[in-house]
Amino acid sequence: MSPENDLSRLHAVIDGSVQGVGFRMFVLEYAQSLGLTGWVRNKYDGRVEVIAEGPQADLDRLLDKIRLGPRSAFVTEVQKEWLPASGEFNYFAVRQTE
């Protein structure tokens, strides 16, 4: 397996005007189009949290898209952490706010 096919995990927390603007659906649809697994959810503090697993190149694409957000959002900061993939997810979904 070549390095670009190695699976990784992206944990990102997005700050800004990111709730009530379709951000979760934006992430869900793009992650699904890339074949990634994991989840996206709103946080009670107004941020959005993402856990995604897949090939590093696809996670980089998702991260670029997250930094832009949907047209109605305004992203001020993205905190990211790279971790080894766990393989625990079968698909990408929206999770309940936490």
Domain chopping of the chain, boundaries: 3-94
pLDDT single digits (tens) 64-76? 999 999 999 999 9
Has 24 been annotated as catalytic?
yes
3-94 is a CATH 3.30.70.100 domain = yes
Q: Name the catalytic one among 41, 42, 61, 90.
A: 42
b/e string for 20-32 if b means 16 or more Cβ within 10 A? ebbbbebbbebbe
pLDDT single digits (tens) 35-52? 999 999 999 999 999 999
Q: pTM for the whole thing?
A: 0.93
- Using DSSP, state whether 19 is helix, strand or coil: coil
Q: Name the catalytic one among 5, 9, 24, 71.
A: 24
Has 42 been annotated as catalytic?
yes
